[in-house]
Homo-oligomer: A and B are copies of this chain.
């Protein structure tokens, strides 16, 4: 099977790139960093790094995520792997994209050792990025859009306590279409939510009820006969 012996084969490098999505001002945003070294010095890019010798891919993505955001325990989703021989000007670097979702995309991410400058960019206003990062970002966003409709990951993007309208707006955004309020609520009835009994504050209209996702209940029913999360 392996025609080439491992020992006298040439060397590659391997990296992971970690697309971090947030929902901010009614739009999906991605976290971008400004590169502080060549190649592509001062270009915007998706955060990424080479994988360490004994590090699993997902661990490498977690490391990048934690260093950048100081948040751990986030769910990571593997996306596509990009291996065009010319994608990196300095040599052969194959990269696997991961994505993570974070709540409260409003929080300020400080410049760290990791990156001088960091910013949120609405997914439809992304500038030209380093390497093939536009390609990576777009294909990863496509995957996110698909998964939002079949896995309960919208709750990783929404605030811990959210209104049904916030949830609807998220789906209207990714679906690029408006939905009927009453029908949306009927559609999500099978999804286990906890009505918190609390209400929105400081709004100049009738305050909406706050909900949170009932993940325990979800895990309980997820395996059952025909249950399938679906928007």
| Chain A residues engaging chain B, CB cutoff 8 angstroms | 1-4, 6-7, 9-15, 33, 35-37, 45, 47-51, 53-57, 78, 80-81, 83-85, 88, 90-94, 96, 114-115
Contacts and interface: CB of A to CB of B under 8 A. Distances in A.
Contacts of A14: 12, 14, 83, 94
Contacts of A84: 56
Given A55-B85, A56-B85, A57-B94, 12 more contacts: A1-B33, A1-B37, A6-B90, A6-B93, A10-B53, A14-B14, A14-B83, A56-B83, A57-B81, A78-B81, A81-B81, A81-B96
A158 to B, nearest CB: 25
Nearest to A39: B2
Given A36-B1, A78-B80, A12 B13 contact: yes
A74 to B, nearest CB: 19
Contacts of A7: 90-91
14 contacts: A1-B45, A4-B49, A6-B91, A6-B93, A7-B91, A9-B13, A11-B12, A12-B14, A12-B51, A14-B14, A14-B83, A53-B85, A57-B83, A57-B94
Contacts of A4: 49-50
A37 B6 CA distance: 12
A130 to B, nearest CB: 8
A217 B53 CA distance: 50
A1 B83 contact: no
Contacts of A15: 2
B57 A115 contact: no
Contacts of A13: 6, 9, 12
Contacts of A81: 57, 78, 81, 96
